[in-house]
Chain A
Amino acid sequence: MTTANLRDWLLSDAPTSRRQARFASWYKGWLTLRSNTLAMVGLIVLALIILAAIFAPVLATHDPYAQDLGQRLLGAGHSGHLLGTDSLGRDIYSRLLYGARISIYIVLLVAMVAPLVGLIVGTVSGYAGGWGDVVLMRITDIFLAFPRLILALAFVAALGAGIENAVLAISLTAWPPYARIARAETLTIRNSDYIHAIRLQGAGPFRIVTRHIWPLCISSLVIRVTLDMAGIILTAAALGFLGLGAQPPSPEWGAMISEGRKYILDYWWVATFPGLAIFAISLAFNLLGDGLRDMLDPKEDTA
């Protein structure tokens, strides 16, 4: 099939199979996303960071853990250290590459846990209504009322420092906004005629919530998650900075800034490069989130 044929096949208004219908709707979404330049910038930056994380062993010039006190605090470009070295003589460039793995690992875990918990709590609460709704939403309110970082600190303090516990703490504090969004969406969806119609076919609440309400909530949650990613990375970095997240010598970006803090006046690059990395990934997620909002908006008309 030539490219032009493929395009016509995808943009056809009369798909002839389930597969074509599905691919076509994905392709139209992709076209919308592609027309948003900033979102594409975000996507490309993210793709680069993910590639860097995957190919870290190939791209790294040094062992990220190898200390060389003779080479400590070298500036960028000195004796083969692309971005200089830190206070223990470790190569910052290599550490950043390996650090990307940790950041992405954290983001993925949080992105899988928090929205899922929020989605379940929110849709069940919204669809059930009555007492169930009241109880679930008050619990949500209690979680919302705490400052996020402080609650995360408390969890980490109770569970012990480490990446897994940091992820758990962030997830536990991040789900309430998703529950709120999912509930608000559910409240509007549950009274629509298409939900009535499927109820009249004899569908039970479990089927309605998972098969009919979830697909409509997920787009707004995905948007919210990508916009929140920046916050999650920053929280993870903050926990690392405070010494409660990833533990040294692990090259987590927040922990790297924390170590560099002591030398920030004389050796700026030690804290600045991990800072720039955090900045880049946060901005990329925000840009992508904006683009996804345009793409996934259910009101958008693909005429």
Chain B
Amino acid sequence: MTDTAIDIQNLDVWFGSGRDRSVAVSQARFAVEQGESFGIVGESGSGKSTILRAIAGLVPTWSGDMIVAGEALGPRRSKAFYRKVQMVFQDPYASLHPRQTVDRVLSEAMGLHGLTDIDSRIPRLMENVGLGPSFRFRFPHQLSGGQRQRVAIARALACSPQILLLDEPTSALDVSVQAEILNLLTDLRRDHGLTYIMVSHDLGVVGHLCERIAVMKQGRIVEVLDVETMRRLEAADPYTRQLLDSSIQSSRSV
């Protein structure tokens, strides 16, 4: 096992073919260390979520080299891959099956990974993400946005993965709930030694959770910088500076 959890080289991702082909990501390269938290920021349509989806195997049309958790990725993902890598989606209102209770969602995830004594594991898993046992048999419509996102995180953690792909996990939530979820993610990372790749449009959120940050624009990574450089607003690329500028302006009160 090397120290590199994720190594991406020359990644191209596209949609459609022939004349309709549109390139979503071109020549992306970055590496994430074991236990590191890596952020990807960019505006809508910059291809930041597409990278995560390509790693997770949700977008079949890509080329390049991806080595994730010591496994070189091909067109198909093995079952073992999904035991090591899991994803949390942006919208907790769309990422839970509307007809399944929390219990059903979690037990199915555990069953698929071949875990036993599911009945005793579920309460522990729910406690890990800060959900009391009273939530176990609720349907998604009986949960608030924050609670739903906790369920989605619990589902991703069901198989004790090493790597979590986080696709804007808090952008659909209120700020106070966002704070709770971000704290939860911080705690989980510390307790389980997780590696994160987090995609967000919010520099504040990425800056809070990540140590190194890639900035994307129109499918390309324009700059990778560490969070200290970012806080000192010492970005090399003009686009990054512009992004930092507007983010600082809108968060600084008069």
Do A and B contact each other directly (Cβ–Cβ < 8 Å)?
yes
User: Which chain A residues have a beta carbon within 8 Å of chain B's beta carbons?
Assistant: 13-18, 20-21, 25, 192-194, 196-203, 211-212, 215-216, 298, 301-303
Instruction: Name A197's contact: one of B99, B138, B141, B152 (CB within 8 Å).
Output: B152
In the complex, whether B82 has a CB less than 8 A from a CB of chain A is yes
- The 5 closest A-B CB pairs, nearest first, are A193-B95, A21-B137, A15-B137, A193-B89, A202-B82
- Say yes or no: A197 contacts B137, CB within 8 Å: no
Complex Cα gap A17–B138 (Å): 9
- Say yes or no: A18 contacts B86, CB within 8 Å: no
Instruction: Name A202's contact: one of B79, B91, B155 (CB within 8 Å).
Output: B79
13 extra interface residue pairs, beta carbon distance < 8 Å, beyond A16-B134, A197-B89, A216-B98:
A16-B136, A17-B137, A18-B103, A18-B137, A193-B95, A194-B96, A194-B97, A196-B56, A197-B152, A197-B155, A201-B159, A298-B99, A301-B141
Please name all residues of chain A whose beta carbon is closer than 8 Å to the beta carbon of B11 when the two chains form the complex.
none
Instruction: Name A16's contact: one of B82, B87, B95, B137 (CB within 8 Å).
Output: B137
Residues of B127-179 at the interface with A, using a CB-CB cut-off of 8 Å, are 134-139, 141-142, 152, 155, 158-159
Please name all residues of chain A whose beta carbon is closer than 8 Å to the beta carbon of B158 when the two chains form the complex.
201
- Say yes or no: B99 contacts A215, CB within 8 Å: yes
Instruction: Name B113's contact: one of A20, A21, A202, A298 (CB within 8 Å).
Output: A202
- Say yes or no: B58 contacts A199, CB within 8 Å: yes
Please name all residues of chain B whose beta carbon is closer than 8 Å to the beta carbon of A202 when the two chains form the complex.
79, 82-83, 112-113
- Say yes or no: B87 contacts A200, CB within 8 Å: yes
With A15-B138, A16-B137, A21-B138 in contact, do A201 and B96 touch (Cβ < 8 Å)?
no
Please name all residues of chain B whose beta carbon is closer than 8 Å to the beta carbon of A16 when the two chains form the complex.
134, 136-137
Complex Cα gap A200–B155 (Å): 10
Please name all residues of chain B whose beta carbon is closer than 8 Å to the beta carbon of A216 when the two chains form the complex.
97-99
In the complex, whether B101 has a CB less than 8 A from a CB of chain A is yes
Instruction: Name B89's contact: one of A196, A203, A211 (CB within 8 Å).
Output: A196
- Say yes or no: A193 contacts B94, CB within 8 Å: yes
Instruction: Name B112's contact: one of A13, A14, A20, A203 (CB within 8 Å).
Output: A203
- Say yes or no: B56 contacts A302, CB within 8 Å: no
- Say yes or no: B109 contacts A201, CB within 8 Å: yes
Complex Cα gap A199–B156 (Å): 12
Please name all residues of chain B whose beta carbon is closer than 8 Å to the beta carbon of A25 when the two chains form the complex.
139
- Say yes or no: B134 contacts A14, CB within 8 Å: yes
- Say yes or no: B137 contacts A20, CB within 8 Å: yes
Please name all residues of chain A whose beta carbon is closer than 8 Å to the beta carbon of B56 when the two chains form the complex.
196, 200
- Say yes or no: A201 contacts B139, CB within 8 Å: no
Considering only CB atoms, which chain A residue lies closest to B114 in the complex?
Answer: A202
In the complex, whether B36 has a CB less than 8 A from a CB of chain A is no
Considering only CB atoms, which chain A residue lies closest to B107 in the complex?
Answer: A18
Considering only CB atoms, which chain B residue lies closest to A300 in the complex?
Answer: B141
In the complex, whether B108 has a CB less than 8 A from a CB of chain A is yes
- Say yes or no: B112 contacts A298, CB within 8 Å: no
Please name all residues of chain B whose beta carbon is closer than 8 Å to the beta carbon of A212 when the two chains form the complex.
97
- Say yes or no: B101 contacts A18, CB within 8 Å: yes
Please name all residues of chain A whose beta carbon is closer than 8 Å to the beta carbon of B135 when the two chains form the complex.
14
